[in-house]
Chains A and B, each alone.
Chain A
Amino acid sequence: MTLIDLANPTRFLNLTSRVLPWLAAATAILLLIGLYQAAMAPDDYQQGATVKIMFVHVPNAWLAMFVWGVMSVAALGTLVWRHPLADVAAKAAAPIGAAFTFLALVTGSLWGRPMWGTYWEWDARLTSVLILFLMYLGLIALWRAVEDPSRAARAAAVLTLVGALNLPIIKFSVDWWNTLHQPASVLRMGGSSLDRSFLIPLLVMAVAFSLLFVTLHLAAMRNEILRRRVRSLQMMQASRRSA
């Protein structure tokens, strides 16, 4: 079974229908373990119980960037190899990535309220995640602006790759911008070296969230394939009726 075998949507649907229940079960089990461990983790001596937000916040932030990476690989698949599933993968990933980014922003904001005394701070890291969120929304808008999926796929692929080149530049310039304006930053992201009692639940949660993404992504890809089938059936029916 190579990647090109999956170009057949029926084969892909068969494979995923077998894999998905196992993936969903593994995600649920790991999430339960991770949440239990996170609940049992000791309070931080400075931040108290609010440090537990980290176990949800950090995996979300990681996945927010990881999903753009997945979409970039899919965009290469669309433009270079013309793999038929690549644009399905890219389209299905965009709303999930936007959701992870949004959750990272919301959890970070809720964490920031007790810690920094404000919901929003024009901190470099927050700002670049916000820009990432805007770019996700722009990409989704691009997907929705075009009716023909394959035409939308190529436009979205170009934008995804340009975004992948631009995101490091934006990250770097926002860092530079912020350190210029507020040299003395009091923000502490839990310290650089995490204690083991925090690190292990965090890693479990990260793996659980990654599995959650894979599960949701495969399910969304199945939906997209089925949606396209319905669309072409409807078009066939409409053209037959008019003929």
Chain B
Amino acid sequence: MTALAALIRRDIRIALRVGGGALIGVLFFLTVVVLMPFAVGPDLALLTRLGPAILWLGALLASLLTLDRLFMADHEDGSLDLIVMSRTPLELTCAAKALAHWLAAGVPLILATPVLGLLLNLDATATAAVALTLLAGTPALTFTGMIGAALAVTLHRGGLLLAVLVLPLSIPVLIFGVAASQAAISGPLAFGTPFSILCALSLVSLVIGPFAAAASLRHGLD
């Protein structure tokens, strides 16, 4: 347990310091959202309507951008080999690393949402709904993305491949994340239905992700 806690603390510290790059995700998120009005025009009513979708898409792409940091740096300096060989079960280690990655790269995205909601002319309810769905949904993005990151690190040059492999898997999260936000803002549907499915997706990925990532690390790193 102390080993896992130490690992989480170490990963967060590395991610937040110089060369870590966790905050680049937030910057990317900001840039994508700022680009949107240039593409669809500065129509505030339209931006309000598209707001949740833009925020979700931006968060999805931003979380994808930082994913390859999850194992790549550890692989380069050799500590990944030590982690794989250690007595702590690799599934738990993978879960701990993903948790640390989510805390360092996922939570800042959620914290940035209110500011970006302001730019997209979202009211308080809408912003809160998007932030809440991101809080429930980004763990699923991190934990399913971890599978792609683990595959990519065993392939040595999987950076581009990572996006192609991970994005189709994240479609359900995107669907229910945007659906829950829209339901809270305008939709005839109750907020609870898509939101609980979104939570369920996160929980499922919490189970599948570490096992699949550990399997691909164990088989791929020899």
Contacts and interface: CB of A to CB of B under 8 A. Distances in A.
Contacts of A141: 161, 164-165
B48 to A, nearest CB: 19
A118 B120 CA distance: 34
A165 interface: yes
B151 A131 contact: no
B158 A135 contact: no
B201 A158 contact: no
A161 B216 CA distance: 11
Residue of B151, B161, B168, B197 with most partner-chain A CB within 10 A: B168
Contact of B155 (A146, A157, A161, A180): A146
A172 B179 CA distance: 14
Nearest to B173: A173
Interface residues of B, number: 28
Contacts of A173: 171-172, 175-176, 197
Nearest to B222: A151
A216 interface: no
Interface in B144-179: 144, 147, 150-151, 154-155, 157-158, 161, 164-165, 168-169, 171-172, 175-176, 179
Contact of B220 (A151, A165, A172): A151
Contact of B168 (A134, A146, A157, A165): A134
B215 interface: yes
A110 B139 CA distance: 40
A79 B171 contact: no
A174 B171 contact: yes
A36 interface: no
A70 interface: no
A176 B178 CA distance: 13
Contacts of B208: 162, 165
Interface SS of B by simple majority? helix
Contact of B151 (A79, A134, A158): A158
Nearest to B147: A162
A58 interface: no
A166 interface: yes
A154 B147 CA distance: 13
A68 to B, nearest CB: 13
B168 A135 contact: yes
A166 B171 CA distance: 10
A157 B216 CA distance: 9
Interface in A149-177: 151-152, 154-155, 157-159, 161-163, 165-166, 169-170, 172-174, 176-177
B188 to A, nearest CB: 10
A236 interface: no
A174 B175 contact: yes
Contacts of A146: 155
A158 B212 contact: yes
A154 B218 CA distance: 10
B17 interface: no
Most chain B CB neighbours (cut-off 10 Å) among A131, A155, A163, A170: A155
A86 to B, nearest CB: 13
A162 B147 CA distance: 9
Task: Please name the 7 residue pairs, one residue from A and one from B, whose CB atoms are nearest each other, closest first.
Answer: A154-B219, A173-B172, A158-B216, A177-B175, A138-B164, A173-B175, A138-B165
Given A79-B219, A176-B197, 16 more contacts: A79-B215, A138-B165, A141-B164, A145-B155, A145-B157, A154-B216, A157-B219, A158-B212, A158-B215, A158-B219, A159-B165, A162-B147, A166-B172, A170-B168, A173-B172, A174-B175
Interface of A: 79, 131, 134-135, 137-138, 141-142, 145-146, 151-152, 154-155, 157-159, 161-163, 165-166, 169-170, 172-174, 176-177, 180
10 contacts: A79-B219, A134-B168, A141-B161, A145-B161, A155-B220, A159-B147, A162-B208, A162-B212, A165-B208, A180-B189
